[in-house]
């Protein structure tokens, strides 16, 4: 039996797709092993959001070569679609598959598809325009929470972003198929470890659109979450990230009264300056963002709101950055994900002036990381004393285990194997020196 190992870089969507491709190999009789267990085949799923991501891919190829110099190395994912020849030139790489080909990897390896049929040689990456298929994907048994892909690709023109070039046009599955996948996850979990939480993932999931069929109209993300809320066997659904202009009143109101959708919204802002938002070609202005935050907090005062923000985008003057800082500082949000702008090939942002010196990008990033810690602490303090349900995860550090509440408070408790993947109702007591929230241990008894 041939042994295959996977390594995933990047986002939840990549993890869902790697896990799905892994199951395809197992169904064909391959044995899935860890990277250091001398596999015959190494499959590396790549990211290309930053320059650093490319470097990481090269490092992992070297690792694979060190583990098994005769191993077959196949590269898939966003970097593979954007720079296939650059990767094929990395010593040790045997095959590079683009977005349209990655789900056919097993056929290539099983000789069902001869390289000649796929444009010959080791690079099998069609132009992104040909990546029009949609492949159902979800992660399973790799982590406590399952990532379920509901949408792929993106039609937005954001000036700094290469994802549309790596993943193609926005496309989704039907609501019926997504619900079917959720039932599969609930069922498959039942034998091994019941899956308690599904995280909906994609590239621009708010752009979900179930194709109209048999006379029924197109259905959107709002209809999708309504259907998923009825799936028995799954305790929690979490929306991974949603664009502010696609986060409608209906979606917010639905989550506020839903049975299974948790009060946690991760909403990319990118800048708090309308001038910079225009340069980024974002589809909203900061007023809409503030109004969305207020809507959420009105209906769910305990809701967690996470914010993506980019520092150092071309055209971000010192004044514009301070505008962003002030805007975030006065918003009732819970934490920030801070990204430092990095030049990406073939993006419109490369033509925007002035360019922000790297040293200033670093300084601005530091300031927002400090602000994020301040916001997170204030949010956690507001939750102390409350009773919440925590899903405990399986990683252990210094005899402690961790988990998340519905509203994304990171909780810590003494390690107890019986708590792994368990939902426990606990009282949040205090914030420890590591910034994690402790719970009343007596409530953890079985």
How far is 229 from 232, CA to CA, in rounded Å?
8
- Which is nearer to ligand SF4, 142 or 308 (by Cβ)? 308
Site string for ligand SF4, 107-146 (x = CB under 6 A): ----------------------------------------
Nearest distance in Å: CB 279, ligand SF4: 13
Q: Which of 46, 204, 388, 421 binds ligand SF4 (CB under 6 A)?
A: 204
Nearest distance in Å: CB 363, ligand SF4: 24
Q: Which of 22, 71, 77, 164 binds ligand SF4 (CB under 6 A)?
A: 164
Neighbours of 142 (CB within 10 A): 15
State the angle between helix axes of 286-299 and 249-257 in degrees (0 to 180), rounded to the nearest 10. Answer: 20
Nearest distance in Å: CB 303, ligand SF4: 22
Nearest distance in Å: CB 35, ligand SF4: 29
CB 252 within 8 A of CB 298: no
- Which is nearer to ligand SF4, 118 or 277 (by Cβ)? 277
Q: Take residue 428 and report the two structure tokens written for it.
A: 């949040």
Q: Which of 339, 330, 343, 410 is nearest to 369 (CA)?
A: 339
Label residue 141 exposed, middle or buried (CB < 10 Å: 0-12, 13-18, 19+): middle
428 binds ligand SF4 (CB under 6 A): no
List Cβ neighbours of 12 (8 Å cut-off, separation of 6 or more).
139, 147, 199, 201, 240
161 binds ligand SF4 (CB under 6 A): yes
Nearest distance in Å: CB 49, ligand SF4: 9
Residues of span 232-271 touching ligand SF4 by CB under 6 A:
243
- Which is nearer to ligand SF4, 44 or 277 (by Cβ)? 277
Nearest distance in Å: CB 197, ligand SF4: 24
The span of 35-43, 78-86, 155-163, 187-195 binding ligand SF4 (CB under 6 A) equals: 155-163
Q: How many residues does the chain have?
A: 446
Nearest distance in Å: CB 158, ligand SF4: 3
Q: Give the residues across from 414 on adjacent strands.
A: 400
Q: Which of 11, 163, 166, 251 binds ligand SF4 (CB under 6 A)?
A: 163
82 binds ligand SF4 (CB under 6 A): no
The span of 23-31, 150-158, 309-317, 372-380 binding ligand SF4 (CB under 6 A) equals: 150-158
- Which is nearer to ligand SF4, 152 or 438 (by Cβ)? 152
Q: Which of 197, 283, 282 is nearest to 233 (CA)?
A: 197
159 binds ligand SF4 (CB under 6 A): no
105 binds ligand SF4 (CB under 6 A): no
State the number of binding residues for ligand SF4 (CB under 6 A).
9
CB 99 within 8 A of CB 167: yes
Q: Which of 59, 99, 106, 95 is nearest to 78 (CA)?
A: 99
How far is 116 from 397, CA to CA, in rounded Å?
50
How far is 94 from 408, CA to CA, in rounded Å?
41
Nearest distance in Å: CB 162, ligand SF4: 8
Q: Maximum Cα–Cα distance for the chain, whole Å?
A: 65
DSSP track, 76-100: EEHHHHHSHHHHHTSTT--EEE-TT
List Cβ neighbours of 433 (8 Å cut-off, separation of 6 or more).
none
Q: Take residue 12 and report the two structure tokens written for it.
A: 């939840």
Q: Which of 64, 203, 391, 419 binds ligand SF4 (CB under 6 A)?
A: 203
Nearest distance in Å: CB 240, ligand SF4: 12
In the sheet with 335-340, reading across from the earlier edge strand, the strands are 264-270, 304-311, 335-340
Rounded to a whole number of angstroms, the CA Rg of the chain reads: 22
Run of H or E including 216: none
- Which is nearer to ligand SF4, 137 or 412 (by Cβ)? 137
How far is 51 from 287, CA to CA, in rounded Å?
32
Q: Is 12 helix (H, G, I), strand (E, B) or coil?
A: helix
Nearest distance in Å: CB 86, ligand SF4: 21
Nearest distance in Å: CB 157, ligand SF4: 7
Q: Are strands 423-431 and 387-397 parallel, antiparallel or unpaired?
A: antiparallel
The span of 13-21, 44-52, 115-123, 153-161 binding ligand SF4 (CB under 6 A) equals: 153-161
Q: Which of 21, 150, 154, 305 binds ligand SF4 (CB under 6 A)?
A: 154
- Which is nearer to ligand SF4, 165 or 185 (by Cβ)? 165
Q: Which of 35, 156, 254, 415 binds ligand SF4 (CB under 6 A)?
A: 156
Q: Which residues bind ligand SF4 (CB under 6 A)?
A: 154, 156, 158, 161, 163-164, 203-204, 243
């Amino acid at each position: 039996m041939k042994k295959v190992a996977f390594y995933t870089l990047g986002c939840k969507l990549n993890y869902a797709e790697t896990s799905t491709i892994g199951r395809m190999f197992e169904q064909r009789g391959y044995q899935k092993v860890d990277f250091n267990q001398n596999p015959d085949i190494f499959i590396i799923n790549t990211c290309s959001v930053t320059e650093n991501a490319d470097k990481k891919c090269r490092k992992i190829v070297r690792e694979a070569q060190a583990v098994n110099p005769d191993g077959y190395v196949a590269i898939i994912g966003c970097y593979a679609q954007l720079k296939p020849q650059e990767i094929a030139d990395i010593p040790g790489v045997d095959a590079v598959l683009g977005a349209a080909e990655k789900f056919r990897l097993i056929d290539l390896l099983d000789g069902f598809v001869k390289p000649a049929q796929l444009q010959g040689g080791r690079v099998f990456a069609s132009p992104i325009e040909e990546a029009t298929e949609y492949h159902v994907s979800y992660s399973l048994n790799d982590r406590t929470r399952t990532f379920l892909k509901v949408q792929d690709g993106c039609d937005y023109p954001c000036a700094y972003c290469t994802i549309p070039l790596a993943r193609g046009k926005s496309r989704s599955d039907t609501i019926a198929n997504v619900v079917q996948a959720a039932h599969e996850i609930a069922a498959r979990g039942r034998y091994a470890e019941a899956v308690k939480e599904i995280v909906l993932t994609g590239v621009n999931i708010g752009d979900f659109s179930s194709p109209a069929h048999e006379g029924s109209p197109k259905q959107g993300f709002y209809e999708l979450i309504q259907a998923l809320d009825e799936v028995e066997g799954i305790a929690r659904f979490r929306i991974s990230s949603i664009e502010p202009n696609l986060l409608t009143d209906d979606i917010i109101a639905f989550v506020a009264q839903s049975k299974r959708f948790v009060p946690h919204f991760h909403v990319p802002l990118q800048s708090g300056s309308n001038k910079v938002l225009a340069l980024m070609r974002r589809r909203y202005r900061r007023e809409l963002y503030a109004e969305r935050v207020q809507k959420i907090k009105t209906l769910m005062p305990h809701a967690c709101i996470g914010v993506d923000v980019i520092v150092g985008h071309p055209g971000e003057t010192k004044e514009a950055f301070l505008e962003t800082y002030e805007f975030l500082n006065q918003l009732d949000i819970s934490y920030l994900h801070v990204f430092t702008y990095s030049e990406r090939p073939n993006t419109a942002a490369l033509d925007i002036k002035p360019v922000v010196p790297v040293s200033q990008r670093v300084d601005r990033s530091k300031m927002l990381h400090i602000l994020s810690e301040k916001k997170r602490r204030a949010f956690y303090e507001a939750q102390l004393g409350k009773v919440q349900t925590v899903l405990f995860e399986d990683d252990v550090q210094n005899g402690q285990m961790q988990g998340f509440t519905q509203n994304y408070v990171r909780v810590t408790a003494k390690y107890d194997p019986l708590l792994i993947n368990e939902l426990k109702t606990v009282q949040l007591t205090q914030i420890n020196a590591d910034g994690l929230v402790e719970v009343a241990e007596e409530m953890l008894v079985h």
